[in-house]
Structure 1
Amino acid sequence: MLDRPNIYLIGIGGIGMSALARYFQQSGRKVAGYDRYRSPLCEDLEAEGMKIHYEDDVKQIPSRFKAEDSLVIYTPAIPEDHSELNFFQKEGFEIVKRARVLGLIAQKHRCLAVAGTHGKTTTSSILAHLYRHAEVEISAFLGGISTNYQSNFWGHDDTDLLVAEADEYDRSFLNLKPTAAVITSTDADHLDIYGEAQSLEDTFREFAESVSDFVLVNESTNLNLGLKYGFGNQNSYYADQVQVREHQYHFDFVHPQGRISDISMLLPGRHNVENAVAAAALALKYGLSEAQIKAGLESFKGVKRRFEYHIQKEDLVYIDDYAHHPREIAALQNSVRELYPKRKITAIFQPHLYSRTRDFLNDFAESLSAFDEVILLELYPARERPIAGINSKALLDLIQSETKSLMARQEILSRFSEEKPELILTIGAGDIDQLIRPLKLALLK
C-alpha cells in the first residue's frame, strides 16, 4: 500500500496529515491534496512542491491522482458527504485513515510513542529534539511544528527509532504497536467518541498493553501499570529542586541511575517540566547520555501554538496557545501568573466543538474565570452539527468575571489598535490561529 507513486490527502493541512504528506514527498512520491483553507502550513507544503486546492471540487483533483496507482488518505475530520471522498469511494480507490498509514510506517522502526489528552505534542517534540540535537538519526511524526526545525516531520525509512505522537481521538493510537510509550494524562476528552471518561481510560489501558518494552505513565493518571513520572520521589523519574529564576524554570532530573542537576528550560510552566521529565526518561532508556539530554533540554525552543510568544516587551506581552480543554486552560493561566504575577491578563478564547463545550461547559467557565478579562469568539464547530443551547453566549453567561465579552474578530482588532493590554493571550484549537498575524500587527501599531 505505502509504495504507491501518487498520494492524495483529503485534509492535507491538518497537523498529522501534513506530516504524512512530508514523509511521502521526501521519499520521492507525487503528493497533492485538498484542505478547507490556505493556512500558513498549507503555504509551506505548496512551497515544498505539493499541489493543494481549497474547494471541495472533484474537477480540481489533478488527473494523475485519479489513476489506479494512487493511495487516498483522509482524516476523521472530513465529513461523510465530502464530494471528493465520495468520488474516490465510488471509483473503488484504496482509501485509508491517517492513523492506519502512520501505524504501517511505524512498523518499520522501533516506535517511541507519546500519548495523553494533554502534553503529548510538547513531550514528543522534546523527545525528537533530544535525538536530533545529539545528532542521532531518527524519524519523527509530530502533532505540532517544532520551533527549532520549523517542521512536524523529519527522517526516513532506514532509521532505527521513530518518535510518534499517539492520538487518542477516534482510538487512532491503537494502530501503533510501540516499543515504548509515555502516557502524559488520561483526563476526559473526546466524549463524542468515547461516551464516558471510563471508556477513554480503558482505551488508554488497551494502548499501554500493546507496548512491547517500556511504559511510562504520569503520576496523575489512574493507570496502575508501567513506571511513573512526575514531581515526587515516589516516582521512578521525577523533577526535583524546581525553581523559577529570571522567567526560566530550573530543575534536577532524577532517574533510577542518578541525577542531572540544574537543567534550565526555555519553556514556561510546571507542566512543561513534567513533559521534559517524560521525554528525558525515554531518551535515557533508548541510547542518549546524561550530557546529551541536558544539552538537548536546554536548547529546546518549543512548539508553535504552545505557549508561543509573539510579542515580548517590557510593557506588552502577547502569547498564543492551543489550549482547548479546561485543564489545559488552567495550566496555561497558572504558568502565565507564575511568570508575570503583576500583569493584568486578557484572554481571547475560541471554544472548539459543540460536544466538548457541552461536556465541559462549567469547567470551561471556571478555568476562564481566573483571567482578569475574557473575550470569547464564536464557537468553532469543526466536524460537528450544532447542539441546541450550546454556543459561546451560553459559556459567557457562566464566566464569573466583571470584564467579559463576546466579540467579532474585527472588533478585537479595532480595539487593540487603540488600546494596549499588559498581557494578552489567544487560546483555542479552531481557526483562532488566523487572528495571530493581524492581532500582532494591531498591537504593534
Structure 2
Amino acid sequence: MELNKVKFVYFLGIGGIGMSAIARWFLKNGIQVSGYDKTPSTLTNTLSEEGINIHYEDDVRCIPQEILINRDSCIFIYTPAIPKDHLEKNFLLDQGIPLYKRSEILGWITEQIPTLAVAGTHGKTTTSSLLTHILKNANKNVTAFLGGITQNYGTNFLPNEGPEDIICVVEADEYDRSFLTLFPYAAAVTSTDADHLDIYGDDSSVKESFQLFVNQIQNEGYLIQKNGLGLKSSINQDSFGLENGNFHARNIRIENHRMVFDMVYPNGIISDIPMRIPGFHNIENALAASALAMQVGVSAEEIKEGIASFKGVKRRFEYHLESNEHVFIDDYAHHPTEITACLKSIKALYPNEKLTAIFQPHLFSRTKDFLEDFAESLTLADEVYLLDIYPARELPIPGINSELLLSKINHPNKQVISKKDFVQKMKIDKPKLLVTMGAGDIDTILGDIKNAIISL
C-alpha cells in the first residue's frame, strides 16, 4: 500500500517502546492512529495526550467501526508479544485482514530513505540514540525510530524536517528476527550474545540471524562491528572495542565521577572526549555511533560535541539521585552481560562505597536459560535484593522463580522482597549507593524509592 492511500492505522500492543515510535510517525504524517495495549503506562498516557485513541480491554467491540468499514485504507500492526489466544488478533485474522509486524512496517517506511541501523543484543538503544543526537547536533535532517526515551529530546521518535536529504536511524531489533526486514545503507552490530532463546533455541541460531542481517546491508554500504564478533561481509567495514579495533579508546580516566577518553580511529584521534553518560560499555557505544556518523559526513569536532552533550536514555544508567549523601541509578539491564557491565561501571565510579542492587528478573525462560550467569553477575554487588520474575508474555515455568535464583547467588547479603517492602526498607536503610535493574515494571516504583531515600 502506498503511503498516500493510508487513512488509518490500528495497533495491537501500541504501548511498546518500538511500536509507539511507529505510531507517532504515522500520526505526524496526518494519519488517524488507534490501538490496544494490555495496561496503561506513562508512554500510553503520552500517546493518548497526543491524540491517539487507546483501550486496554481485549474486546473486539473496542476496535473502531470506522476502521473495520474502511479496512482497505487501514494498516493493522501487531507486536509478536501479543498471545496466540488474543481475541482481537484472532478476530482480525478470521476476517481475512493482514496483520503486519512493526519490523515489516519499519522496513516499508525506510525503503526509500538512506538508513543507519544499530543491532545487537546489548547496547543498541543507547548507540542508536547517541547516533541520532550526533546527527542532530551536526544539523543533519534525521528521522529516528528508537527503543528508548532519549533524555535530550524526551521521545523515542524524531521526525525529519522536510523531505530533502533525510537520514533515517533505526534500532534494529533481533527479537523474533524482526531486523531481517531491513536493508540499511550502513549498520553497527554491538553484540551477538545469546538471548531470546525462547525464540531462537540456541546460541548458534542467534549468531546466524545476525549474519543474515549483515548480509542485507547494501553493497555500497558499511559495517562496524564489535571486535571479535566475527561476522563476515565483503563490504567496507571496521571494528570497534574498548582496547582493540579500528575504533578504540585510550587514556580512559574518571573525573568527578564521569568518564573522559580519547578516541582512536583510522584517520586520527579525537582527544579528551567527556561523557555525561558513565560506563565502560557506553564508551564502546560511542565508538560505534561515531563510526556510523562519519559515514554520512559528520566531522570529528561535531562528533566530540555530540558525545559531550548527550544526556543518555531513560532507564539506561539513569541518575535519579546524585549528591554527596546519596547516589541512585536505574538501568534497564536484564541480561547477565548487561548486569555485569552496569555493576562494574558503578564500582569503577564509586570504588569506596557499598553498592546495594535490586533486580527484577524478566521472563521465566530467560531466568531459566541464564540462571547461573545471573547469579554470578549479581555477586558483584555488596547487597542484593530480588523482586519476583516479571512474566511479560510468558506463563510461569514450574520451579523457576526468584527464590531459585537467590539460592544460586553466592552472597551473604541477599533477599527476595516485594516492591512495597523494598520501598519501606529504603526509608530505614537510606543506602549511599543504590542501583535498580530490570526490564519489567520496576520503573513504577522509582519515584517511591527516591522519596523514601531522601525522606526525613
TM-score, normalized by the shorter chain, greater than 0.5? yes
CA distance in 2, matches of 1:220, 1:239: 16
Is 1:13 the equivalent of 2:39? no
Structural mapping, 1:383-402, within 5 Å: 383-402=393-412
Residues 219-228 or 234-243, more deviating: 219-228
Residues 216-225 or 186-195, more deviating: 216-225
Other-structure match for 1:46: 48
- What amino acid is the match of 2:382? D
Q: Deviations over 1:394-441 (max 9, x none)?
A: 101111111111111111122122320111111001111112122222
CA distance in 1, matches of 2:111, 2:263: 31
- What amino acid is the match of 2:42? P
Is 1:332 the equivalent of 2:334? no
Aligned match for 1:95, one of 77, 85, 99:
99
The residue matched to 2:260 in structure 1 has which SS?
strand
The residue matched to 1:400 in structure 2 has which SS?
coil
> How far off its partner does 1:224 sit?
4.5
Other-structure match for 1:199: 205
- Cα pair 2:320 2:450 within 8 Å, conserved: yes
CA distance in 2, matches of 1:236, 1:107: 30
Other-structure match for 1:227: 238
TM value normalised by structure 1? 0.97
CA distance in 2, matches of 1:151, 1:300: 14
- Cα pair 1:127 1:279 within 8 Å, conserved: yes
> How far off its partner does 1:267 sit?
0.9
- What amino acid is the match of 1:374? V
CA distance in 1, matches of 2:431, 2:217: 48
- Cα pair 2:344 2:380 within 8 Å, conserved: no
Other-structure match for 2:292: 282
Paired positions, count? 444
CA distance in 1, matches of 2:140, 2:420: 47
The residue matched to 1:390 in structure 2 has which SS?
coil
- Cα pair 2:386 2:402 within 8 Å, conserved: yes
Other-structure match for 1:139: 143
> How far off its partner does 1:72 sit?
1.1
CA distance in 2, matches of 1:247, 1:317: 11
CA distance in 2, matches of 1:70, 1:164: 24
Is 1:79 the equivalent of 2:83? yes
- What amino acid is the match of 2:226? N
> Runs of 4 or more off by more than 3 Å in structure 1?
none
Other-structure match for 1:160: 166
CA distance in 1, matches of 2:263, 2:232: 23
Other-structure match for 2:215: 209
Structural mapping, 1:343-362, within 5 Å: 343-362=353-372
Is 1:431 the equivalent of 2:419? no
Is 1:120 the equivalent of 2:124? yes
CA distance in 1, matches of 2:331, 2:250: 27
> How far off its partner does 1:231 sit?
2.8
> How far off its partner does 1:243 sit?
1.3
> How far off its partner does 1:442 sit?
2.1
Other-structure match for 1:376: 386
- Return 5+ residue gaps in structure 2 as ranges: none
> How far off its partner does 1:149 sit?
0.0
CA distance in 2, matches of 1:378, 1:220: 35
CA distance in 1, matches of 2:74, 2:217: 32
CA distance in 1, matches of 2:230, 2:398: 34
Other-structure match for 2:183: 177
- What amino acid is the match of 2:32? K
Root-mean-square deviation over aligned CA pairs: 1.3
CA distance in 2, matches of 1:29, 1:129: 27
- Cα pair 1:319 1:424 within 8 Å, conserved: yes
- Return 5+ residue gaps in structure 1 as ranges: none
Other-structure match for 2:226: 218
CA distance in 2, matches of 1:8, 1:254: 47
> How far off its partner does 1:42 sit?
0.9
Percent pairwise identity:
50
CA distance in 1, matches of 2:67, 2:413: 53
CA distance in 2, matches of 1:433, 1:411: 15
Other-structure match for 1:27: 29
- What amino acid is the match of 1:433? D
The residue matched to 1:388 in structure 2 has which SS?
coil
- Cα pair 2:140 2:167 within 8 Å, conserved: no
- Cα pair 1:185 1:220 within 8 Å, conserved: no
- Cα pair 2:14 2:37 within 8 Å, conserved: yes
The residue matched to 1:144 in structure 2 has which SS?
coil
Is 1:294 the equivalent of 2:304? yes
The residue matched to 2:194 in structure 1 has which SS?
coil
> How far off its partner does 1:94 sit?
2.6
CA distance in 2, matches of 1:360, 1:266: 31
- Cα pair 1:71 1:93 within 8 Å, conserved: no
